[in-house]
Structure 1
Amino acid sequence: MGSEDSFTESTWGLGIHDAHCHPTDTMPKAGAIPTMKAKSLTIMGTRQSDLPLVASLARDYPEKIVPSFGYHPWFSYLIYDDTRSGGEREVDKNEHYLSVLTGTPTKDLISALPAPRKLSSVVTELRSHLETFPKALVGEIGMDRGFRIPFPDNAGAEGHAVYVPGDTEDGKRLTSHRVSMDHQKKIFVAQLKLAGELNRAVSVHGVQCHGALFDIFRELWRGHEVEVESRKEMKRRRRRAKGGAEGHEYLPDIEGSGDSDDDEFDEEVGKRQEKKQEYTPKPYPPRICLHSFSAPVQTLQQYLNPPSPKTRYPSRVFFSFSSTINARPEKGHMEKIMETVKGVPEGRVLVESDLHTAGEDMDAALEGAVRVIAGIKGMGIDECVKVLGENWREFVFGDV
């Protein structure tokens, strides 16, 4: 096997970036972070208790950590929507849980659950963390149709089962109650809008709700689609500017436009048109990572296909894959995702570990993910690592 196909120390030296991981869930192992081969870890916040842990790791290892602050949909039922019409409302614990949980939770269950926090307070908290860390992301946020809340006696202080490696949702730790999709959407959209206001990328969780996720993004994008000229139209406008009346703007050639009369949608031209514009707050995030993406090709195409021949969606969407979630041969996952990975453009793919423990296992998971992407895409390992690195930098930092 040639050097392009092998995984060497020089390969790690090119820079491999974990787009989504959770080392704060196993803090005793976090000391391994500076010795890891991975160039950087994009670590997710999921709930109130681990947000300060994310911040502490970002301060301890600023060259290695990109922090993300958000509330995972598994914790959305612990948040009370006080932002509805009529202004802020006081929390009514019984009313809240009866309205956001499916089925009818018993009085004993509601009594044992913690008092929910106000959504307005959650957004204020997240804003504070994001302002403290100007390059931080919003995440992990999203929607989950399958999640069932845990019994309080199997939960931590915030009402969620404490992570234990190897745990399974076998019904012994979980109730029969799910969080309504309507409530999850409110918490999700509030965080998406915060990301749009502060110009931050988001890392998104989606389980059994791929269509619902896309519909939410499309709602936020509606009316903000970006108009993009075809190469043919841009050439005509340049010619008019060159030969027109005094005062017309001269438009320099765009690299790569050539002499083609191609009328096709050109995403790169669109990106260049926007690149140097001053940012103004938006109701949607500028960049989105759909983490451990497992949707079928048809869903992928919804994100990739422009809404019309001359417009595109305003957020740049990336798709992240792992060897722990997406590509486990013993679970039969490889067959399911192969066509999806093939359909993701090279400039939109990311890799992640999605692991809860820093150290060698996380590095091994990243290596496995890179191998999966390189194999499916027919790329050499080093070539793949370089592409993934460029994609990660664009996802996290935007056009810099």
Structure 2
Amino acid sequence: MDSELKEMQAVLADVPRSVLKHVIDVHCHPTDSDMGATLQVVEEMPIRICAMATRRSDQRLVADLARAQPEKVIPCFGYHPWFAHWIALEPVASKEEHYRALFLPPAPPPKQELVDAFDRLLPYLPQPTPLAEILPELFESLEAFPDAMLGEVGIDRACRIPYARPAEPPYSDYASNGGTDSPRELSPFTIPLEHQLLVLEAQLGVAVELQRNVSLHSVKAQGMTGEFFDRVYKKYGERWLRISVDLHSCGLSAQSFRDISKRHPNVFLSLSTVINSRSPAHKELIAACSPDRLLVESDFHDIRYSAPYTWNMLRTVADVKGWHVEDIWDADVPEAEWGAVRRLEENWKAFERGGHKPYVRRKLRRDRAIEEWEANNEESD
């Protein structure tokens, strides 16, 4: 990966800072790495970033980074679906009761191998935190920063719980083969989707109340994500459209995103080199996405990768969409001549503003003709 980084940095070195200061990495995890090194790089980097929190122990780190570099860091507070099982929806008598209810429901009776796996996993799991404590803290964090977003939150059908104790920051030290529990072995348990959705919906309620935008994780959950959006739209109505939602490192099919975007004018997508370039389908997704709904990101934990990885994805978007990439910055350019940097910056501004208009479904010519015929006949009666 170091050689890849050097190649991207070499490309980036030729781009004027006057252009790069208009680039936004809309999703990254800089507090997962050493904070001293991160602060130094953020101070020198030319772009802006949206820094994600994922669990209780990194909310403060994101806040500290945003306070240190308020011009470059947009803080994002929230609880990632990978850690949703650490949250108790209701008061519980014990840690074991909470996790047993999630992973070993009584009906049908669990197989002995699952019981054995649970007994092995339980000592690694933390004491659950009540949702009633999480939500006021989340509310307070978002209120402390007028530009803060909710993130990273979402749904994940693929994540399995590791036989490993929760790591302390910096989390990048605890990658798949790092940390004190190396190598990590995965248990057979996944986090029940109903539990994930309840944790997500509770957090989203705070975002709607405070009118804050959202960075959302969706893995192996295309249909469920669309259904979730439909449900919250029905619940909140116009208030849902006041905020924007970014499907980050979006892995939806082109058709799935088209379907969601038609029903939800507040949903954007962002793509990252580190995740999306693994599949050639990401270019089809870029091609299918409306040009005013696209954003770019690095989705990386090492802040040194943020600018080069985000720029790399920007160039991919430009190539697919047939946009030129600016090599100088001119403040007065007509919209017809906008390049990729300006287009994506304008998309970000629209995302930040929120306040989206509901789609008005146009009536088909046949439907209009029927209505006119019925009206004429009513008048003749």
TM-score of the pair, normalised by structure 2: 0.77
CA distance in 1, matches of 2:46, 2:173: 28
Q: Closer, same or farther in 2 for the Cα pair 1:284/1:384, shift >3 Å?
A: closer
Q: Closer, same or farther in 2 for the Cα pair 1:293/1:324, shift >3 Å?
A: same
Helix, strand or coil at the partner of 2:276: coil
Equivalent residues of 1:21, 1:44 under 8 A apart: yes
What is the CA-CA distance between 1:12 and the residue it aligns to?
2.8
Q: Closer, same or farther in 2 for the Cα pair 1:380/1:75, shift >3 Å?
A: same
What letter matches 2:26 in structure 1? A
1:169-206 deviations in Å (ceiling 9; x for gaps): x9843222111111111111111111111100000001
1:372-387 matches, within 5 Å, as 372-382=316-326, 383-387=339-343
Confirm or deny that 1:100 pairs with 2:102: yes
Equivalent residues of 1:14, 1:385 under 8 A apart: no
What letter matches 1:385 in structure 2? V
Helix, strand or coil at the partner of 1:189: helix
1:216-295 matches, within 5 Å, as 216-222=228-234, 282=239, 286-295=243-252
CA distance in 2, matches of 1:215, 1:70: 21
1:122-271 matches, within 5 Å, as 122-153=134-165, 155-156=166-167, 163-164=174-175, 172-222=184-234
Which one has a larger percent helix, Structure 1 or Structure 2? 2
What is the CA-CA distance between 1:157 and the residue it aligns to?
5.5
Partner of 2:259: 302
1:21-47 deviations in Å (ceiling 9; x for gaps): 000000243121011121x11000101
Q: Which moved more, 1:172-181 or 1:383-392?
A: 172-181
Partner of 2:43: 34
What is the CA-CA distance between 1:216 and the residue it aligns to?
0.8
Q: Closer, same or farther in 2 for the Cα pair 1:15/1:72, shift >3 Å?
A: same
What letter matches 1:387 in structure 2? R
What letter matches 1:146 in structure 2? A
What is the CA-CA distance between 1:60 and the residue it aligns to?
0.3
Partner of 1:322: 272
CA distance in 2, matches of 1:285, 1:394: 11
What letter matches 2:267 in structure 1? V
CA distance in 2, matches of 1:149, 1:398: 36
CA distance in 1, matches of 2:352, 2:300: 19
Confirm or deny that 1:75 pairs with 2:83: yes
Give RMSD over aligned pairs.
2.6
What is the CA-CA distance between 1:339 and the residue it aligns to?
1.4
CA distance in 2, matches of 1:69, 1:46: 7
Q: Closer, same or farther in 2 for the Cα pair 1:210/1:29, shift >3 Å?
A: farther
Q: Closer, same or farther in 2 for the Cα pair 1:355/1:285, shift >3 Å?
A: farther
Q: Closer, same or farther in 2 for the Cα pair 1:36/1:206, shift >3 Å?
A: same
Confirm or deny that 1:348 pairs with 2:273: no
Confirm or deny that 1:62 pairs with 2:67: no
Identity %: 32
What is the CA-CA distance between 1:166 and the residue it aligns to?
7.4
What is the CA-CA distance between 1:294 and the residue it aligns to?
1.4
Confirm or deny that 1:337 pairs with 2:345: no
CA distance in 2, matches of 1:113, 1:173: 14
CA distance in 2, matches of 1:32, 1:14: 15
TM-score of the pair, normalised by structure 1: 0.73
Partner of 1:368: 312
Partner of 1:245: none
CA distance in 2, matches of 1:44, 1:67: 7
CA distance in 1, matches of 2:49, 2:213: 15
Q: Which moved more, 1:361-370 or 1:349-358?
A: 361-370
Equivalent residues of 1:47, 1:70 under 8 A apart: yes
Give structure 1 stretches of 5+ with no counterpart: 1-5, 83-88, 227-281, 307-312
Helix, strand or coil at the partner of 2:274: coil
What letter matches 1:140 in structure 2? E
CA distance in 1, matches of 2:164, 2:151: 25
The one of 344, 351, 376 aligned to 1:388: 344
What is the CA-CA distance between 1:138 and the residue it aligns to?
0.3
